[in-house]
Structure 1
Amino acid sequence: MSTLNLTGALDRLIADIAARTEGLSHILPSRLLVCLSPTRSGGIHGVYAKIHPMRFADGSLTKQVRRGRKTYTCTMPQINSHGEEILYVIYFLFPRFFDLSFREKLITIFHELYHIAPEFNGDIRRFPGRNYAHGSSTRKFNEAMGIMADRYLEKLQDEELVEFLRFDVPALRTRHKALVGRKFKTPRIIVAAN
């Protein structure tokens, strides 16, 4: 039995998705930090994954915010990994994400990757209107991600890239000596009064 590095497996899968998927080819996997985040409870209800952009709107490092009469400057922290500045941190909630069905796991990965701005500037993809993260309908957003995931699977050349997604956590634990993955504290915006 071997140890399964879940974030390593996700890194490899995301790199392949970015290389083979129209609409996601702007993503540079070396500038993503893929992590696990523990969930307090099991089950499949709740958030499965989340993305933290490391820039404000339009890729800006800073943003001015007014609170009452005071103005504050908010600055994103800089994160480096292997000599590369990280522009996005993606968290997959453990074990909740891994207990989804195979297709739902893949759709969730596409969902998080699609949030990455086409300019790959550290900001998220912004849709017009109030719900700028998902557009006018989160349901339609997820349906579109399902179509992208299905197209990816049709062209998949290396089944091993997705094999680990076919199992839930109990099954993964019986197949592997240990499950490990990268953890990283949620980046905190630095706020300073002007």
Structure 2
Amino acid sequence: MRVDTRGAAVTFVYEPTEADYRAAVRRLRFGTWRGLGGLAVLLVVAELLASYRAWRGGFSPAGVAVWAACLLVVLVAVVHWGTGRLARRQFDGMDAYGTCRTVVGPQGMTTTGGELSSDLDWQAFPWYVETSELFVLRTRRTGIVFVLPKRGAQDPADVDRVREALEGSLHRLRSMPGMTRRR
């Protein structure tokens, strides 16, 4: 793992919002090849269930189409519900911080707010994605995300400095074509 030792610490001050976490989870789930791979598995399972139903109950093109449509509706509802639920759960952990002050340095980040503080080294979050408004860091096994809103930058150059620190320390998740947005 590469670490950027050139830059000094950069401070972001912001109020975390549930909308930030919804956007982050959506981006991880729908905007990266890794996230779409998980959705592809669900689609294959739905197709196998529809095929089994057709094999077990006799083949009827109309019946298979109705069964597949019902499974697709259920799949979309579950993914939508799960995305919102995950975002709320992630946000609840940060809501107690109130106004956050996150200091990003060569070794990791420190976030303070209210009476809470957390230190995170880069090994805890090996992956990240960037949107036009957020830096989103993701853990390896637990799926926990940390959202760093760009609106918290004290200076527009701070966004570039954080990007350099992330690129030097973490692996950027590959995005779907057309999904990489920078301001």
Pair member with larger Rg: 2
Do the two structures share a fold, i.e. TM-score over 0.5? no
Please indicate the TM-score interval, normalised by the length of the shorter structure: under 0.3
Bigger proportion of residues as helix: 2
TM-score normalized by structure 1? 0.23
TM-score normalized by structure 2? 0.24
